[in-house]
Amino acid sequence: MEYRRLVLTRWTRRDRLAVLTIAVTVAFFTSTVLAVTAVSTQTTAIAAEFETPASVEHVSGGAATEQGVAIPAGTIQVDGTNATLVGLSNETVQRLQASNIVVPPPPGAGVTVATDGAGRSAGNVTVVTSDGTETTVSLQTRSAGQQAIPGEWYVANETLASQVGGGDGYRIETETPTVPADGSPVLGALAFFVAGTRSLVGLLFAGAVGVAILVGVIVYSVVRMTVRDRREEIRLVRALGALPRQVLTLFGGRALLLTAVGIALGYSVGVIGVNLAANVGVFLGLPTSLSMRVSARSAVLLLQGYGIVFASGGIAGILATLPAVRGAPYAETGEDYSDGRLTSLAPATLEPELFDWRGVVPAAGALTVFVAVLLLVTSFAGALGPLAGGDGATVTEPGATHPIASDVPGHYAGVLESQDQITASPEILGFSTVDGTAVLVRGADYEKFATVSDAALVAGRRPTTQGEAVIGADLAASLGVEPGDEVTLGGSTRPAFTSVSVVGTYEAPGYFDDHLLVSLSTARHLSTKRGDSVNFIRLSERPDASPGGDEVQVVDLGAPNRTTVGSTVTVTATVLNPTTSTVERTVTFTIDGQSVDRTVSIRSFASRTVSTRFEATETGSVTVGVEDRTRTVQVLPADAVTIRGLPPVAPPDSSIRVQVVGVADGAPVAGATVTLGSETYESDENGVVSLSVPSTGTYDVEVARGDYATTQRLEVATGAQRSLVASWDVPAAASPLSQVEGRLTVSNPWNQTLSRTVLLNYPGRTRSVSVSLAPGESRTVPVSVGRLAPDSYEFTAVSDGEELATATLRVEGDARLASAIASHSATEAGTTGIGRAVATVFGNVQIIVAALVVFAGVMTVGGTTAAFARSVQARYRELGLYRAVGASRRQVLGVVVRDGLRVGSVATVLGLALGTGSVLALEQLGLLRVYGVSAPVELGVSTLGLSVVTSLVLVVTGTVLAVWPALQKEPVVLVEAGDE
């Protein structure tokens, strides 16, 4: 029993070295798991709001399941162009809406198309059914809105669509896993990240196997040395009756204990090390929000990996003990414990002086893992890095945390191209999965994308319509897609779906080869982008940052058009600073020739509004200005009022409800008189007046309060339509940095309820709104435009072909100013879109890569140290003799290092071959594809050279650490230890 206790618990320096080496190896695995799960947890949390409500798949037959609905679909020709027709029923609409999937209602007859989809008005279209029958049906427009089907798709009832499609259609499963195995999620952002995380987990298991093999090699070497030290005791124990299995169990238990302690220590080192790496990254200014805590997910992965490592340690211990328990206790084992030298086929000049060639195998095992890690790191860095090409740049929204959160006007591209003679590609990036594979969907114009990405078609042709797409060669190979195939896509950040026809395959550097390239309109349908907005604009080169002239510019002068005597008038000026430093600026206002100075400090790349006030003391006009901008403010009497809601045309004998409001504040005015024809009316407490319209003719409608009176023109005509009254509330001017917001107020001035469809046209968007207003009721429709480049923009509202309201917005600043804004944004972006996404959404890759490479290097040093420690132990006598005859420690170290290089060179070649082969095997298995990006193994001269040089440095380091304890012993001690 005492002997068993000593074998299990009495550890030598070599044992402690083995525990430390196992700990470093396990620490590498631990840090990898924590870093990868932190990244995946962060990305999943970011996309958690995008849990898919359903999946969509294009099918033949289109049969619905209990959890899904079938939507028949086919192709029709409209004006000689192919278009998609889908069939809906009221039941289908209700079931989809219950899952937050919005689709338009089915028409009772004919077909409908969105007002901003096909650009058609009402009329007729000819539909050809699958059996060749032609049918003419009516065409109506439907409201656009954010619906799940594209606006250019035509909608009919299920019967007509089934006749056209002949059984083809879409199946939408409303109960589906996050990553559906077939088809695409209707809302794909979360599915994309979950699928990417699964790829990382696959790599983790491959890493666990590699770590387990390395631990096995280390434990085998250490236990063999322990068995050598105790071979006489083993023979004695066996001679006293111990069975071989008992000896195996004893030394196997010892190996398990060594491994368990190494795992426990490695866990602690890994947790502390990876958190230290994150803190160092923060200290160095690298942005990261990764949480390296042990979560439930990482705990499961760690326990599984530790189980593999623990088992490999026990098995290695048993295998190392087997030679010592074979045969009779004092029989020869067939193994040379005394010298350890093997017959070598190497030339005599290459034969090690002290070491033997058996160290090649364990050293090669350690180097194999290191080479594999190095190749994986370089491959993923090359795939995910910013490879837009040369001097490229990306324009994103200033202050956006990452490109996916960025919103940039697409027409900035035109400004940049016209001013800087560069190619600018406005793009939208979307996330989805197709048949369980993560897919990056990029909306762009192919010609511009190809120019800034160095892409070239290798099959098929360029896309010409919004329903066509081209696919990167890497993604095409992963999905098994080629020109002529149809791909069904779900929405990225909103519930939607569509189908695109792949017409070409292209090749491009890096991650650009892993995109499905669709039109911008298709990408907007699949995302939340509207109008002209995009995520970012990629440039072929960085634009000139200087806008020319005075960099700080006054881009807006604000003042009311009218006011009343006694009112305080506020005059504002918006000052924009498109430079990289804070600027203090004095703004000089003029009010009827009198100057007023205001000083304002403006942060880098920001705008500030500065104001002054004056008192309107008498009627007339007041001219206000700042720099070269002027406005005229009309000062009216204090009683000035106006009429709100008077239509320009009315039918005879109708009734109109109008409101009298003050000019200065727009508040309702009671007791004002309104005269129409021979009738005079008085406004009530809400300023409302009901006017009776006389016979046909043109009338001046007068409103008066006190001594003030003004008129508006009303035309009365037979057959005039009762139209809504509308007004736009949008700023008269804005800067290129402004987020432009507006609203349209629609009122019903008539004595009957009106239901109308109002078509809103504003920058980058056409939108229809259906309204039903009771007499005197009004409704406000907000519109969001975002940032705009310098220009003049029109806002209109039209109903039944009649223009209800119009407004003009001026975005101040010359084109050079827009170029400066874009240039500053490009400077801030620093990398291309996906590169910044990797650095922010996926966590700080620099920190993770640096930590893993350091851990891999330390792990390899530990492995090579353990590999050479056995050779050092076997040569204690020779080392002692070298020292005894006068060799210094440095001279002995030189001999050992040369031996280490001889053995290490062979181990490096083996490690390079095995490490490269293992990574290539992972590539063939499809495991080197993470978050929709494939990482082809880069085997260039620089990569292989780096692997060889680094491996040899690690070998030398391991050799020094292995022999250093022996060099600290006296020569006589070494000789006596070698003679045992």
Helix, strand and coil percent figures for the chain, each rounded to 5: 40, 30, 30
Q: Are 748 and 777 in contact (CB under 8 A)?
A: yes
Position 332, amino acid: E
pLDDT at 836: 43
Tens of pLDDT, residue by residue over 809-852, are 887 765 555 555 555 555 444 443 333 444 444 444 555 666 66
In angstroms, what is the C-alpha Rg of the chain?
39
Mean of pLDDT values over 36-44: 66
pLDDT of residue 40: 64
Report d(CA 786, CA 788) in Å as an integer: 7
Q: What are phi and psi of 57, to 5 degrees?
A: -145, 135
Other beta carbons within 10 angstroms of residue 739's beta carbon come to 12
Two tokens, residue 264: 């426990």
Q: pLDDT higher for 6 or 259?
A: 259
pLDDT at 118: 46
Indicate the helix (H) or strand (E) that contains 503: strand 497-507
pLDDT digits (tens, 9 = 90+) for 330-381: 555 444 444 444 344 445 556 666 666 766 777 777 788 778 877 777 776 6
Both tokens of 543, joined, read 């634009």
Report yes or no: 73 and 102 within 8 Å, Cβ to Cβ: no
Tell me, what's the pLDDT at 841?
Answer: 45
Q: Where are the domains of the chain?
A: 1-52+184-337, 55-175, 341-385+842-980, 416-545, 555-636, 641-716, 725-813
Burial of 865 (0-12, 13-18, 19+ CB in 10 A): buried
- Please say whether the beta carbons of 398 and 825 come within 8 A: yes
How do residues 639-694 score in pLDDT, each as one tens digit?
Answer: 899 998 888 899 998 899 999 998 877 889 999 999 998 889 999 998 999 999 88
Look up residue 757 and give its two tokens: 């469809």
961 vs 669, residue with greater confidence? 669
Residue 622 has pLDDT above 70, yes or no: yes
HSE-up (13 A, CA, CB side) for residue 919: 23
Residue 23 has pLDDT above 50, yes or no: yes
Q: What is the mean pLDDT of residues 483-506?
A: 91
Average pLDDT value for residue range 391-418? 68
Whether 555-636 shares its CATH topology with 641-716 is answered: yes
Predicted confidence (pLDDT) at residue 28 exceeds the cutoff of 60: yes
Question: What beta strand segments (E) does 179-224 contain?
Answer: 184-185
Give the pLDDT band of residue 220 (cuts 50, 70, 90): low
pLDDT in tens, 750-769: 988 998 888 888 876 777 78
Q: How many residues does the chain have?
A: 980
CA angle at 798 for the pair 797 and 803, rounded to the nearest 5°: 90
Tell me: pLDDT of 934 over 80.
no
Is pLDDT larger for residue 241 or for residue 601?
Answer: 601
Q: Among candidates 941, 863, 867, 853, which has minimal Cα distance to 899? A: 867
User: From CA 375, how far away is CA 938, in angstroms rounded?
Assistant: 7
The CATH number, out of the four listed (3.40.309.10, 3.30.300.30, 3.30.450.70, 2.60.40.10), of the domain defined by the range 725-813? 2.60.40.10
Q: What does the pLDDT look like over 866-921, one tens digit per residue?
A: 667 767 766 777 777 777 777 777 887 888 888 878 888 888 888 888 888 888 88
Query: Of 306-315, 506-515, 551-560, 636-645, which has the strongest mean pLDDT?
Result: 636-645
The least confident of 116-125, 438-447, 591-600 is: 116-125
Amino acid, single-letter form, for residue 652: P
Q: Tell me the residue ranges of DSSP E strands in 339-475.
A: 393-395, 408-409, 424-434, 437-443, 456-460, 468-472
Question: Greater confidence, 516 or 751?
Answer: 516
Residue predicted with more confidence, 564 or 858: 564
Of the candidate ranges 254-263, 549-558, 633-642, the one whose mean pLDDT is the lowest: 549-558
Percent of the chain surpassing pLDDT 90: 14
The residue-averaged pLDDT of 511-535 equals 86
Cα–Cα dist 477/855, whole Å? 34
Q: Average pLDDT, stretch 524-542?
A: 82
Residues 6+ apart with CB under 8 A from 940: none
CA 978 to chain centre: 62
What amino acid occupies position 360?
V
Where residue 226 falls among pLDDT bands split at 50, 70, 90?
low
Interacting residues of 127 by C-beta distance below 8 A, sequence separation 6+: 76, 85, 111, 134, 135, 136, 137, 156, 160, 164
Q: Is the pLDDT of residue 548 over 90?
A: no
Token pair of 68 as six digits? 């899904």
Give the whole-angstrom CA distance, residue 272 versus residue 292. Answer: 9
Beta bridge partners of 740: 786
Helix/strand/coil (H, E, C) string of 569-602?
Answer: EEEEEEEEECCCCCEEEEEEEEECCEEEEEEEEE
Q: What is the mean pLDDT of residues 103-122?
A: 71
Determine the Cα–Cα distance for residues 134 and 705; give it in Å rounded to an integer: 67
List b or e across 165-197, with b for residues whose CB sees 16 or more CB atoms inside 10 angstroms.
Answer: beebbbbbbbebebbbeebbbbbbbbbbbbbbb
Range with lowest mean pLDDT among 18-27, 60-69, 360-369, 646-655:
60-69
139, 157 contact by CB (below 8 A) = no
Q: Quote the pTM value.
A: 0.65
Strand ranges, E, within 168-283 = 168-173, 184-185
Mean pLDDT, residues 526-531 taken together: 81
Pick the CATH number of 641-716 from 3.10.20.30, 2.40.110.10, 3.40.50.300, 2.60.40.1930: 2.60.40.1930
Q: What is the pLDDT of residue 719?
A: 81
The per-residue pLDDT for 60 is: 79
Please enumerate in sequence order all residues whose Cβ is within 8 A of that of 59, keeping only pairs 6 or more positions apart, or say none: 70, 168, 169, 170, 171
Q: Is the pLDDT of residue 117 over 70?
A: no
SS3 of 898, please? helix
Averaged pLDDT of the chain:
77
Q: What is the pLDDT of residue 822?
A: 54
Angle at 697 between CA 693 and CA 700, to 5 degrees: 70
The CATH architecture annotation of domain 555-636 reads Sandwich (2.60)
